[in-house]
Amino acid sequence: MVTIASVAEIASLAGDPARASMLLELMDGRALTSGELARAANVAPQTASGHLAKLAKAGLVTIRAQGRHRYHRLASARIAEMLESLMKVAAESRGASALRTGPRDANLRAARTCYDHIAGRLGVALADSLVERGHVVLDDESATLTNSGAAFFARLGLNAPDETPLTCRPCLDWSERRSHLAGRLGAALCRHCLDQGWVRRSRDSRALSVTPSGMAAFDKLFGVVRGTDSRPWRLKA
Amino acid sequence: MVTIASVAEIASLAGDPARASMLLELMDGRALTSGELARAANVAPQTASGHLAKLAKAGLVTIRAQGRHRYHRLASARIAEMLESLMKVAAESRGASALRTGPRDANLRAARTCYDHIAGRLGVALADSLVERGHVVLDDESATLTNSGAAFFARLGLNAPDETPLTCRPCLDWSERRSHLAGRLGAALCRHCLDQGWVRRSRDSRALSVTPSGMAAFDKLFGVVRGTDSRPWRLKA
DNA sequence: GCGATAGTTCGGCGGCGGCCGTAACGTTCC
DNA sequence: GGAACGTTACGGCCGCCGCCGAACTATCGC
């Protein structure tokens, strides 16, 4: 059974500011070293190391040693979903919003990864495109791929690694407050975009940058083009 | 924005065993008094009062005063979803399972509410029935009502309170480790069962008991009948 | 009114746990 | 081999927070 103690233990692991920083930093699915995470959490390396050991012991993160580095990543998509739902509650708990600024945030808002799929303006614009074309039915709590959508993605040559069906789910995002596409379909689409070189991961953050070939592809396939500073990606009218 | 501190704060609220007990006790959507919650958490009333004040201040629970009682309930379905995802992670974190016994647990496993929908064996059996008849497509991460399903529920006279579409989502449950039906459809179905007197809430727990008229209705409409002790509800072959 | 019950507030105790200094250990690079 | 970097281990400090005893407030029933 799921004991109360075990639930409390998981929650309290995420309940420490330093550990929460690290977990959120890992939310994009990258593998980061202890040093990077220590800097992100603003604590000494030894402290970070201790935290990471606890997180690993509880199964929240996995560690892969490589050379003199140890790479840490979230152990599963479920962990990311849990953090996501904590963020949702945190967002509506306080007076919320308190909109933010700064160039780094602007890049994040434009396009970023959310564990394994694309979020931010770009993620929302892509989802809007799929909805408008009838490929996906989307609302706050459910998302469904239509027949035309299945055909569309098959034409794209985008398949699940194994033969599991490409289901999807909505993901309500903090920056856009709109649902975008997550689940296996969202992950496959994100992977495809990276594989094709349409987007590139930024070096030290969750932000994604769109390459020239990506701009062409997004325009041609999704009707998604560059917009204004406040809406960096939008659906062509 | 969602600050790291606010995420950590929410998580640490759920990270204390006493508060976690109370929150999980409220998972079925009932409104409980401070005293009941104090007993559930095994702490003195003053302690519970302090915890509940914190939970209320953070917006996790709402308090309604009525006479000399103060009724507490989860503030929203989002809070319940957050707790649900914490339970999922807790379940797979430890060696998991550690199956459980006791008559109280047996009742809970048979049928209970999970915030606003039906869970336990009964919930899974109902979901199985809907899937088998092609009314719903269900997997781990997505759930969709089919046309025949929409017609079926319309015949049942089961509608959303307002005219929002009856979408649904899967809910992976700790006792059955199977997906069952949540979301607006799950909530509407649960409400319908209660309204029709097919099930009744137990007095002091999340358990549901099925009435004689409920047995007839579940058999006729869903092909769900009483089974063995270990599988109290099952689909008629 | 008065006692009984439900609930909150206050104060002080006690312990857990996060933090860093120091130091040892392991790996990598030159 | 030795220096540099990164991670791990230990010890002690400090602060936060959960806990309960006791006192205070509010509501109900007679």
CATH number at residue A56: 1.10.10.10
The count of domains in chain B is 2
CB A84 within 8 A of CB A78: no
With beta carbons less than 8 A apart as the criterion, state whether B203 and B212 touch: no
Q: Exposed (0-12), middle (13-18) or buried (19+): which is A63, by Cβ within 10 Å?
A: middle
Degrees (nearest 5) of the Cα angle A193, A199, A202?
135
Contacts of A7 in chain B (CB under 8 A): 14, 20, 24, 83, 86-87, 90
Q: How confident is the model over B207-223, as a mean pLDDT?
A: 94
Q: Do A21 and B12 touch (CB under 8 A)?
A: no
Amino acid at position B74, single letter: L
Q: Are residues B129 and B49 both part of a single domain?
A: no
How crowded is the C-beta side of B29, counted as CA atoms within 13 Å? 18
Distance measured from the CA of protein residue B60 to the C1' of nucleotide C16, in angstroms: 25
Do B142 and B181 sit in the same domain of this protein? Answer: yes
Which SS3 state, helix, strand or coil, does residue B143 take?
strand
User: Would the pLDDT of A177 be above 80?
Assistant: no
Which nucleotide lies at the shortest CA–C1' distance from B67? D27
Residues of B107-124 as b/e, b for ≥16 C-beta within 10 angstroms? bbbbbbbbbbbbbbbbbb
Specify the higher pLDDT residue, A140 or B186.
B186
Angle formed by the axes of helices B77-93 and A4-14, to 10°? 100
pLDDT (0 to 100) of residue A57 = 85
Cβ contacts below 8 Å, chain A against chain B, sum to: 174
**Interchain proximity A1–B175, CB inside 8 Å:** yes
Say which residue, A197 or B1, is predicted with more confidence: A197
pLDDT at position A163: 61
Cβ of A220 near strand D (under 7 Å)? The reply is no
Range of the domain at B21: 4-78
Regarding whether B135 and B39 lie in a shared domain, the answer is no
pLDDT band per the 50, 70, 90 thresholds, residue B28: confident
B42 touches chain A (CB under 8 A): no
Reported in sequence order, the residue ranges of A103-198 that DSSP labels E, i.e. its strands, are: 112-114, 117-119, 136-138, 143-145, 169-172, 179-182
Do B218 and B154 have their domain in common? yes
Residue in the block written with tokens 């402290």: A47
Residues A225 and A150 in one domain: yes
Write down the pLDDT at residue A190.
92
Query: In chain B, which residue's Cα lies nearest the Cα of A17?
Result: B8
Q: Confidence band (pLDDT; 50, 70, 90) for B107?
A: confident
Does one domain contain both B115 and B62? no
B2/A contact by beta carbon, under 8 A: yes
B150 and B222 assigned to the same domain: yes
Residue showing tokens 């048979």:
B110
User: For residue A94, what pLDDT band results from cuts at 50, 70 and 90?
Assistant: low
Candidates A7, A92, A168; nearest CB to B78: A92
Residue A82 in any domain: the answer is no
Amino acid letter, A119: A
pLDDT at B161 over 80: no
Give the closest-approach CA distance of A216 to chain B in angstroms.
31
Gap between the Cα atoms of A206 and A225, Å rounded: 21
Q: Which chain A residues in 170-229 lie under 8 Å from chain B, judged by CB atoms?
A: 174, 183-184
Q: pLDDT grade, residue A162 (50/70/90)? A: low
Say whether both A118 and A231 belong to one domain: yes
Q: Does A89 reside within a domain? A: no
Of A222 and A99, the one with more pLDDT: A222
Distance CA A76, CA A196 (A): 25
pLDDT of residue A142: 87
Say whether both A108 and A213 belong to one domain. yes
Distances (CA, A) of A72 to A36, A114, A118, B95: 10, 17, 21, 21
Check residue B95 and give its pLDDT: 45
Q: Which of residues 141-160 of A touch B (CB under 8 A)?
A: 141-144
Q: Is the residue at B116 inside a domain?
A: yes
How many angstroms separate the CA of B39 from the C1' of D15?
30
Claim to verify: residue B55 and residue B144 sit in the same structural domain: no
Q: Best-predicted range by mean pLDDT among A221-225, B106-110, B140-144, B145-149?
A: A221-225
- Statement: residue A84 has pLDDT above 80: yes
Contacts of B13 (CB under 8 A, 6+ apart): A11, A15, B19, B54, B55, B58, B60
Instruction: State the pLDDT at residue B97.
Output: 41
